[in-house]
Amino acid sequence: MAKARSLTAVTLGGAIVVAACGSEPASAPELVIEAGQVTVAQGLADGVPSDRDPNVWVYRGLPFAAPPVGDLRWRPPEPSSEWTGVRDASAAGASCIQVNAQASNAAFYDAGVEETSEDCLYLNVWTAASSGDALPVLVWIHGGGLRIGNGADSSYDGAALAGRGAVVVTINYRMGALGYLAHPLLSEESAHGASGNYGVLDQIAALRWIQDNIAAFGGDPNRVTIFGESAGAWSVNYVTASPLAAGLVHGAIGQSGGNFGPAGSIPKATAEAAGGRFVEALLGEGTEVTLAAMRAASAEEVLGVPMPLSRATVDGWVFPASIYEIFAAGNQMDIPVIVGSNADEGTMFTPPEVEPEAYRAGLGGQFGDLGDEFLATYPAGDTDEAWASQVGLFTDTTFGWEMRTWARMMATVPSDAYLYFFSRKPPTAEGDPFAHYGAYHTAEIPYVFDNFGVSESPHADRAWDDTDRELSNVLASYWVNFAATGDPNGEGLPEWPAFDANADEALEIGDTIQVRAGVRKARLDLVDKHYAVLRAAAP
């Protein structure tokens, strides 16, 4: 049941908002780590102080599972082996090999590491814990369409959040065909008759490692919150729906990504049929399709074949039903969630010009009998209007509807949901290609991590001002408070009410922080009608 709260609108740019966890890192603690070394299940690891905050220790490149290579390719992750001596944890491990890694990551998912490899199941830890601490844990799952990205991206540096009182972990997971390929032969060799969800299984393996080891870093294994953006939020959604992750997670934050639409999870037969076509293209005409031949192909050859879709497979094991069905039945994790999206998500996915006639024809093909209603809601009288409508349509169908639906479907369990709407437009300079992007997809990430100017991504080179810094102070505090208590609210912060479908309220996080009812309600209700038609027509 939603909590009753008094509501406050706070305009940023005036007085600094006092964050519940403090806006400055704590003074130097008596570290639980002795001389930078910490003992985990596999052995002794030697970390380094953060170059952003000397009170924070960083441990990079810790293996949480065995390398998924050779005979372990396309299998659930196996435990990592012990090591002898002291492991140097000063540098990140390789990122998972991916399609056009450097070129793709340059725009929004800065690589942060030089090496990519099939041997990539590593995580990174930031901690400022004192002796005896049991701090809340924030585990970041990176985005990138389940095809690109990595946990060592410099945008995800956890030092600032660790300075606020959380232990921060970022993880890698297998992507593309190496992480999401379903195939009849792979299902046949599985004890569970399942294939296709290896990236999700990697994420669950990392969470098991965290349960076993995070106390050594001053973290509380009973207060683990997963958070992620875009495909990272898809992954958060997946993990909270899988029975295999039961007991490993106590809170979840999804930023701009959910899986309640028809493409969010794929029926087993459909996924295996697509996987069969993929493997035939990989091995070539006339080659016998065997598991040995599939595993003998190089990772580069695997990635050289276009993967039609990297999404979860309803395999009966990792996912007993579609994500929508799991939530509708109340079979997801009964844990509190923060979910939300940005005002202008679609700008980075829309070409510079949209031809009105082609746009109008596309609506009819996509929405059928609802095409006229969609055209009235998203009109295309000229090129400029067609572009704006295409942006709005993509924003609503792919992000806004997903996040509102996620909040609504939490009504099937007792735990609260908190819905947000991020509308702050990051500062841009004249000639900046992002000047017309508004509150674009990924725009909230540097605010959440309090990482202005840290990465080499487009987030970095901006004239961040006091309003941005104050907003980051509030947003980072909400996230850490939530990890600590399951409730983002705290002293000095604008009140954020738990979501109630009847009130339909979201916290707008922008130049002004305020509670708004019915954000884009008519548009999202129309999208809801469309997806209801598709569900009714599905087998």
The residues annotated as belonging to the active site are: 230, 345, 441
Contacts of 372 (CB under 8 A, 6+ apart): none
Are the beta carbons of 519 and 421 closer than 8 angstroms? yes
In the numeric block, the tokens 């009966």 are attached to 316
Q: Which two tokens stand for residue 242?
A: 């899988």
Angle separating helix axes 383-395 and 356-367, nearest 10 degrees: 30
CB atoms inside a 10 Å sphere around CB 463: 9
* Size of the chain in residues: 539
162 beta partners: none
Residues 249, 250, 256, 259, CA torsion sign: positive
Distance CA 333, CA 311 (A): 20
Q: Which two tokens stand for residue 500?
A: 């109630």
Distance CA 292, CA 285 (A): 17
86 beta partners: 44
Nearest to 441 by CA among 342, 520, 509: 342
Nearest to 309 by CA among 539, 146, 68: 146
Rg for the chain, CA atoms, rounded: 23
